[in-house]
Every structure is written in structure tokens, then in C-alpha cells.
């Protein structure tokens, strides 16, 4: 059985605070590695399908924060 990586579901381009940002919506399992993102992905989300936990990406600290 093959392993499936997290899936990118959607990307929206927004203009916030004078900058373009790309807000991504990800789905995966808690055992998947969350994608490393650049600062312009601030506000992106990752939903863990097996735990129902959600995370939001902080483009300033470059970390995923539990919601």
C-alpha cells in the first residue's frame, strides 16, 4: 500500500496589508509532515482528517499553530 502525502485542496490569492498573499487549504493525516511554506502563505490552513485537528500557518514565525 502506498503512502499519500498531504493534499493541497485550494489556493486563494489575497491582497492584505499592502502585500499579495496566497492562502492555501491543506488536508492530510496527523502522521503527515506539514508542508514548509514561505512567509507569503500566512493564514493557510492544515486539517488533520484522522484527528479533526486544525492548524493555521503563521508567516511571521513560519510555524503551524493549533486552532
Structurally, how many domains does the chain consist of? Answer: 1
Confirm whether 38 is domain-assigned: yes
Rounded CA separation 22/48 (Å): 20
Q: Write the pLDDT tens digit of every residue in 43-61.
A: 899 999 999 999 999 988 9
Q: How confident is the model at residue 38 (pLDDT cuts 50, 70, 90)?
A: confident
Residues in the chain: 67
In the chain, the percentage of residues whose pLDDT exceeds 90 is: 49
What average pLDDT score do residues 12-36 get? Answer: 87
What is the domain range of residue 34? 7-66
The pLDDT of residue 67 is above 90: yes
Confirm whether 19 is domain-assigned: yes
Rounded CA separation 15/18 (Å): 6
Confirm whether 25 is domain-assigned: yes
3-state secondary structure of 46: strand
Confirm whether 53 is domain-assigned: yes
* pLDDT, greater one: 67 or 6: 67
Confirm whether 1 is domain-assigned: no
What average pLDDT score do residues 20-49 get? Answer: 90
**CB within 8 Å of 61: residues ≥ 6 apart:** none
Host H or E run for residue 8: strand 7-16
Amino acid at each position: 500500500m502506498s503512502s499519500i502525502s498531504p493534499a493541497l485542496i485550494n489556493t486563494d490569492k489575497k491582497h492584505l496589508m499592502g502585500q499579495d498573499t496566497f492562502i492555501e487549504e491543506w488536508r492530510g493525516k496527523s502522521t503527515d509532515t506539514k508542508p514548509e511554506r514561505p512567509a507569503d502563505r500566512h493564514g493557510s490552513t492544515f486539517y488533520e482528517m484522522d484527528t479533526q485537528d486544525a492548524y493555521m500557518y503563521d508567516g511571521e514565525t513560519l510555524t503551524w499553530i493549533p486552532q
